[in-house]
């Protein structure tokens, strides 16, 4: 080592393309960016500082001593997104297929420790074949070290996973513990056991895409919170999501001070909800009119579409929106919607993001299948999440609020701060038709003209119960407002609640009905 400067340059140069150009070309041919290219897209220009660039494994089994690339298949470091500190690791599929060994894991663990100690988000980019078989149990131990830190950091710093290639075996559990999981159509896969193992055990023929592709996890399993067309779109989405979040649980989300305008005309809300309570409408239309111009970012939009979840800004304030969707299953709450909503509510509460609930819910989905699969237990998750949340909570009942679902959807009774209702809101134990069949069963059975009598009973019930004014009299609704007044009420409410302090009873932790 006669010239130290040249030696360092040589090693740094080797670390930049440890897998070689041929494997880089193969990565591009598959429509994927390289690990370094992904970091470049994700972070602010020239902000990345790499750590552990010259790390190499120390293994000697199965000829590994002859293959010791720098970095050991993962790039780790820190940088900035919109000027704020973030930590990032990016697995390099061109090196050992991105497989995880002891050195690989130790780099990620070091980064996780730094992120937690310094209170900044961490983003993991997965593109890996799983545990490095040649290193045996050491690889499994490395995964467990990562899982532990994922768990300890949960609710303290935002953790975001980008699945930009295969993610198999034990590797899937780290993303599963993180807050948000993003995937790419056609190149992302997640499964505990791959298609070959599935076939050998069950004789089931299934492709990687069918088993654990982005569409499956976005629509059926709910593992993926969002799916994008390519790596760039996925990484840009992560940059967008971070604008709604604080750095950690001790901070508040930033408030944009510049004047914010909405996308639509507020007066159009007056005619948006149909007078016929059985006619659907798209709650997205309500959201886009209420929030700041083009600020809504949906989360889990392909999963449990009867409940909308997403981030937005209202008057510059970051908010998490939970909204029933009348255009899908009439906005009813079922198992998937309850779990989806509970996870999102708890995430927002962990990071001090106010919750806006837009309510039009006819109740929980009835049926033997839902009962047998545990709608009671799963529905209780959403109830628990709203009860537990201490962030500012604002609720607007746009139309129906029936039965137990009225209670669950951030009602005044579970510490809702500001609860509003539109004039056509229906707040009752159940819909008029169902209530009449129970309340007047005997009269209808003995009536000469049961249809006419039933209609009269329905109209009487609607007049007496299917309105927001009884709830307002009891103080369960703070105010009945015209729809066009809603945005202004929300803005002033968010300002008023900006310094809210509410603490739950001291405990080790609650027992969420898992």
Give the active site residues.
169-170, 404-405
Sign of the torsion angle spanned by Cα atoms 194, 197, 201, 204:
positive
Find out whether 308 and 337 touch, Cβ atoms under 8 Å: no
* Tokens representing residue 443 in the block: 């009269």
20: alpha, beta or left, given left = phi > 0 and alpha = psi -120 to 50?
left
Burial class (CB in 10 A: 0-12, 13-18, 19+), 448: exposed
CB under 8 Å to 460, separation ≥6 — which residues? none
CA dist., res. 375 & res. 385, Å (int): 15
Burial class (CB in 10 A: 0-12, 13-18, 19+), 387: middle
Cα-Cα-Cα-Cα torsion 406, 412, 418, 423, nearest 10 degrees, comes to 50
* Tokens representing residue 26 in the block: 């193969």
The DSSP secondary structure of 423-492, one letter per residue, reads TT-EEESS-HHHHHHHHTHHHHHH-SSHHHHHHHHHHHHHHHTSSSHHHHHHTSSSEE--GGGHHHHHHH
- DSSP-H helix ranges across 43-133: 102-118
CA separation (Å) from 266 to 271, 285, 294, 488?
10, 11, 15, 10
* Tokens representing residue 228 in the block: 């994008």
């Amino acid at each position: 080592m006669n010239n130290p400067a040249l030696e360092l340059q040589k090693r740094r140069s080797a670390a930049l393309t440890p897998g070689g150009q041929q494997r880089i070309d193969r990565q591009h041919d598959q429509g994927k960016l390289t690990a370094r290219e992904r970091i470049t897209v994700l972070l602010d220009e020239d902000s990345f500082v790499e750590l552990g660039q010259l790390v190499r494994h120390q293994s000697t089994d199965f000829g590994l001593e002859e293959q010791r690339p720098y970095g050991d298949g993962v790039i780790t470091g820190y940088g900035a997104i919109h000027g704020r500190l973030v930590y990032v690791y990016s697995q390099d599929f061109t090196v050992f297929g991105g497989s995880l060994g002891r050195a690989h894991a130790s780099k990620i663990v070091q980064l996780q420790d730094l992120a937690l100690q310094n209170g900044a988000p961490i983003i993991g980019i997965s593109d890996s074949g799983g545990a490095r078989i040649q290193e045996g149990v050491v690889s499994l131990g490395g995964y467990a070290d990562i899982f532990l830190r994922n768990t300890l950091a949960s609710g303290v710093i935002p953790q975001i996973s980008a699945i930009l290639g295969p993610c198999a075996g034990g590797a899937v559990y780290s993303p599963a513990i993180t807050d948000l999981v993003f995937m790419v159509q056609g190149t992302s896969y997640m499964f505990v056991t791959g298609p070959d193992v599935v076939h050998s055990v069950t004789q089931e023929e299934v492709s990687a895409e069918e088993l654990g592709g982005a569409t499956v996890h976005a629509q059926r399993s709910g593992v993926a919170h969002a799916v994008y067309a390519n790596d760039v779109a996925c990484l840009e989405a992560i940059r967008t999501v971070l604008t709604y979040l604080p750095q950690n649980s001790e901070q508040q989300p930033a408030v944009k001070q510049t004047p914010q305008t909405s996308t639509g005309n507020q007066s159009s809300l007056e005619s948006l909800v149909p007078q016929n309570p059985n006619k659907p409408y798209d709650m997205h239309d309500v959201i886009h009119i209420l929030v700041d111009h083009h600020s809504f970012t949906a989360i889990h939009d392909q999963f449990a579409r009867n409940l909308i979840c997403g981030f937005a800004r209202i008057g510059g304030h970051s908010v998490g929106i939970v909204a029933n969707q009348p255009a899908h299953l009439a906005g009813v709450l079922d198992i998937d919607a309850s779990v989806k909503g509970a996870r999102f509510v708890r995430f927002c509460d962990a990071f001090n993001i106010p919750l806006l609930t837009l309510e039009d819910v006819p109740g929980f989905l009835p049926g033997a299948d839902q009962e047998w699969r545990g709608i009671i237990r799963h529905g209780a998750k959403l109830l628990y999440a709203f009860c537990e949340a201490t962030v500012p909570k604002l609720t607007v009942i746009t139309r129906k609020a029936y039965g137990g679902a009225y209670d669950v959807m951030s009602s005044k009774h579970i510490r809702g701060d500001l609860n509003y209702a539109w004039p056509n809101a229906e707040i009752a134990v159940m819909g008029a038709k169902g209530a009449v069949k129970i309340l007047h069963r005997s009269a209808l059975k003995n009536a000469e003209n049961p249809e006419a009598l039933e209609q009269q009973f329905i109209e009487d019930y609607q007049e007496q119960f299917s309105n927001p004014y009884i709830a307002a009299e009891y103080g369960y609704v703070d105010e009945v407002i015209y729809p066009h007044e809603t945005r202004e009420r929300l803005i002033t409410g968010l300002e008023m609640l900006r310094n809210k302090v509410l603490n739950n009873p001291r405990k080790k932790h609650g027992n969420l009905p898992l």
